[in-house]
Amino acid sequence: MKYICLGFADPKVFAALSETELQAATDRCFIYDDELRAKGHFTGGHALQPPHTAMTLRSVNGRVVVTDGPFTETKEYLGGILILEARDLNHAVELISKHPGVGFGPWEIRPAADLDEMMRQSEARRAGKPSA
């Protein structure tokens, strides 16, 4: 089963690191990602640019309103996502707990929804066909 792992970063942690320490920490993260990949657990992932580069969209009275930056004020910001293949949630927790990125801030792990099945059902409804 696929799990979406959201890695949050505490800016204070990054500010306390020298450039050399930051590079070493980044290297440790990539080394572990390579281990996950070699064992068939890493199915994708991306780091995100800092929050000040973001835009938030929301619907207000039927109109889309766009604002600069993230929607919520938090101490940590979403730093990236990692998509894991794991036996179950406990296995995903075990895998992420060994990731060096845990030192930068908290991680949230959620099972991925099966959008393929949801899309098939939606297509059947829209076509007026009974779903399987």
- Which of the 8 DSSP states describes residue 113? P
| Chain segment 60-100, per-residue pLDDT in tens | 999 999 988 766 666 788 899 999 999 999 999 999 999 99
Rounded Cα gap, residues 42 and 34, in angstroms: 8
| Chain segment 34-66, per-residue pLDDT in tens | 999 999 999 999 999 888 888 888 899 999 999
Query: At residue 21, does pLDDT exceed 60?
Result: yes
The pLDDT of residue 71 is 61
Query: At residue 132, does pLDDT exceed 60?
Result: no
Q: What is the CATH number of the domain that holds 35?
A: 3.30.70.1060
On whether residue 114 sits in a domain, the answer given is yes
CB 101 within 8 Å of CB 7: yes
Rounded Cα gap, residues 53 and 70, in angstroms: 9
The pLDDT of residue 25 is 93
Largest CA distance in the chain: 61
Structure tokens of 12? Answer: 């204070």
CB 102 within 8 Å of CB 96: yes
On whether residue 24 sits in a domain, the answer given is yes
Torsion of CA 46, 52, 58, 64, to 10 degrees: -110
Range of the domain at 44: 2-50+76-126
**Minimal CA–CA distance to 2: which of 74, 87, 62?**
87
The pLDDT of residue 52 is 84
On whether residue 59 sits in a domain, the answer given is no
Quick one: what percent of the chain has pLDDT higher than 90? 65
pTM of the model: 0.80
Determine phi and psi for 47, rounding to 5 degrees. -80, 155
Number of domains in the chain: 1
Structure tokens of 62? Answer: 């039927």
CB 89 within 8 Å of CB 3: yes
